[in-house]
Structure 1
Amino acid sequence: MHTVDHLESLCARAWPALAEVSLGDWSMRAAAGFTGRANSTLTCGDPGMPVPDALAVTEGFAREHGIKPTAHVVIGSTHEQAIREAGWIVDLDHPGGAESLVMTGQLEKFAEGEADSRDLPGWWELTAGSEVSDAHRHVLGSGEKVCFASLTEDDEVVAAVRGAVVEDVLHVARLAVRPSHRRKGLARQLMGELAGWGMAQGATTCVLQVAEHNEPAIRLYSELGCTEHHRYRYWVPAVS
């Protein structure tokens, strides 16, 4: 069983930002605004200074990189109360949702086949949109073991997901199915093939970070045997 801090560190390694600077055990991250995870400070561990001072440093980092000062805080963690007392609040306006579940599961329970890991143009269009930036390329494409899994129909990518293996964990993200092809079991099929790919790379467990309001995704992952490990929220200064 992975500890919360270790699992969060694996997720961060699987989702590399354009700029990453350590602050003690904390990690300040920036990626031109692409995803909250890559544009926030992961507050696990000891920052090496009082929390208010550490938050001031993170604000300076954010300003330097042109992003909103944001802290990625595990619910119930050691620092959560100190961050609140420093005048930060939960970012209820965060585009992806303020709170997310971190779910884990055993790959052997749903692995079936092995995903094709080719980098297809249609994969990027479906998972990242029509305009793919350097930040998209870096966050999604970096890593020693990365899979651009997809399903195609008539040479069109109709379902896609990104997987990255770090240590023995498969990090799953950006699962997408075209609206015209939903409710056909493609997401489940794709997850099975990605799990097979992950096991071939030495992974035994998967981890997913999913917004609490994304009920269809949570339901799918639960049906695959994944369970909630912990939750985190995004915090921002009350006065910016």
Structure 2
Amino acid sequence: MSGLQARDIGHRVVVRHRIPGGLTDVIGVLQSWDPTSLAVRHADSSVHQIDADEVTAAKTIPETPLRPVDVEQLFLSTALGRPAVETSYVGHWLLRASAGWTGRGNSLLPAGSPGMPVAEALKHAEAFYDERGLPPQALIRLGSPEAEEFRALGWIDARPEQSDVLVLHTTLDHVNAAPEYDVLIAEHPENAWYAAAFDGPVPEPAPKVLEGAPKAVFASISLDGRTVAVGRGSMTGHWLGADAIRVDPAYRRRGLGSAILQALARWSGPLGGRRTYLEVLEENAPAIAAYGRLGYREAYRYRYLTSR
């Protein structure tokens, strides 16, 4: 087991070992080590157990570089991972309505071409929201051509008192370590999950939005006889979206949020997950720091604009 020790657990390694008929290399994160065996976790969350006697060479290797993200693809993936109750289109632009619950679920997503002049497309969007008694609102990626066009047409900040929303991303092998807590992954959330995810009554549209994605699961951690941390994961292509992460205030700063993320990452790996994203307000410095320690970096940021 040349080159590896217990202190290397958690680092990326390459291990050459014997198999019937020859040798093979395994690259991944060292999950466990002792004098008789080791375990390497691959990016797809599979774990390779290797006997020490079969190892011919092993060493640590640098972390996988975080490749540039396709921002346009990610911008659309975030919408598909958490679909609204009602949707419509103006060209490729996505109109979303969910009875007013969440900005994402009740805003225009200007991805692609509207198939007509922007000013005309925005009139269609305003009519869509007027018909539903909702304020016309658009989720705008800062620095995009749409941000400049919308503002030139008179659209202004819908939430001037709120900081930017950051969309963070990383590769799955940075975040799919074994959680320190037992995390339950369920295809459908129980009442205890909703009770931990919300203060007070659950908004009527919430179940339709949260449970509406084709591939979604609900993670939870129970301590002292009750659910104290929850989160939701959804798959869009090779992207894992993590949202609705909430930890009971009495149990914060114990790594529960990280454990939820790690469990979701391990769920998504066998399904083809390769990258993961989440959203956080810029003002939430503790959360940003925690996500940074897990390898998350900023892909882009957005704000909501309104015409009124």
- Tell me the TM-score normalised to structure 1 length: 0.92
Could you report, residue by residue, the CA deviation over 1:106-158 in whole angstroms, capped at 9, with x for unpaired residues? 11112134842222322111223432244101111112221110100133110
Aligned to 1:164: 234
Aligned to 2:9: none
What are the within-5 Å matches in structure 2 for residues 1-240 of structure 1?
1-93=68-160, 97=162, 99-113=164-178, 115-118=183-186, 119-237=189-307, 240=308
Q: Give the conservation status (yes or no) of the 8 Å contact 1:150–1:161.
A: yes
Partner Cα separation in structure 2 for residue 201 and residue 125 of structure 1 = 28
> How far off its partner does 1:89 sit?
0.8
> How far off its partner does 1:98 sit?
5.4
Could you report, residue by residue, the CA deviation over 1:199-222 in whole angstroms, capped at 9, with x for unpaired residues? 132211101121211212211111
CA RMSD of aligned residues (A): 1.6
Partner Cα separation in structure 1 for residue 148 and residue 160 of structure 2 = 20
Partner Cα separation in structure 2 for residue 145 and residue 130 of structure 1 = 27
Q: Give the conservation status (yes or no) of the 8 Å contact 1:172–1:206.
A: yes
Q: Give the conservation status (yes or no) of the 8 Å contact 2:109–2:139.
A: yes
Q: Give the conservation status (yes or no) of the 8 Å contact 2:69–2:299.
A: no
Give the number of equivalent residue pairs: 236
Give the ranges of 4+ consecutive aligned residues of structure 1 lying more than 6 Å apart after TM superposition. Answer: none
Could you report, residue by residue, the CA deviation over 1:62-100 in whole angstroms, capped at 9, with x for unpaired residues? 111222110111111122211111111122347xx3521
Partner Cα separation in structure 2 for residue 98 and residue 85 of structure 1 = 21
Tell me whether 115-124 or 83-92 shows the greater mean CA deviation.
115-124
Partner Cα separation in structure 2 for residue 216 and residue 182 of structure 1 = 11
Identical pairs, percent: 33
Q: Give the conservation status (yes or no) of the 8 Å contact 1:44–1:74.
A: no
Which structure has greater strand proportion? Answer: 2
Partner Cα separation in structure 2 for residue 112 and residue 25 of structure 1 = 38
Tell me whether 105-114 or 174-183 shows the greater mean CA deviation.
105-114
Q: Give the conservation status (yes or no) of the 8 Å contact 2:101–2:203.
A: no
Question: In structure 2, what residue type is equivalent to 1:107?
Answer: L
Q: What secondary structure sits across from 1:67 in the alignment?
A: coil
Could you report, residue by residue, the CA deviation over 1:12-59 in whole angstroms, capped at 9, with x for unpaired residues? 011110111011111010101111111100012211111111111111
- Tell me the TM-score normalised to structure 2 length: 0.73
Q: Give the conservation status (yes or no) of the 8 Å contact 1:44–1:73.
A: no
Q: What secondary structure sits across from 1:35 in the alignment?
A: coil
Cα–Cα, structure 1 residues 66 and 98, in superposed 2: closer, same or farther, change >3 Å? farther
Partner Cα separation in structure 2 for residue 194 and residue 204 of structure 1 = 12
Partner Cα separation in structure 1 for residue 163 and residue 128 of structure 2 = 21
Q: What secondary structure sits across from 1:49 in the alignment?
A: coil
Highest RCO, 1 vs 2 (Cα 8 Å, sep ≥ 6): 1
Aligned to 2:62: none
Q: Give the conservation status (yes or no) of the 8 Å contact 1:124–1:132.
A: yes
Q: Could you tell me which runs of 5 or more consecutive residues in structure 2 were left unpaired when the two chains were aligned.
A: 1-67
Q: What secondary structure sits across from 1:230 in the alignment?
A: strand
Q: What secondary structure sits across from 1:80 in the alignment?
A: helix
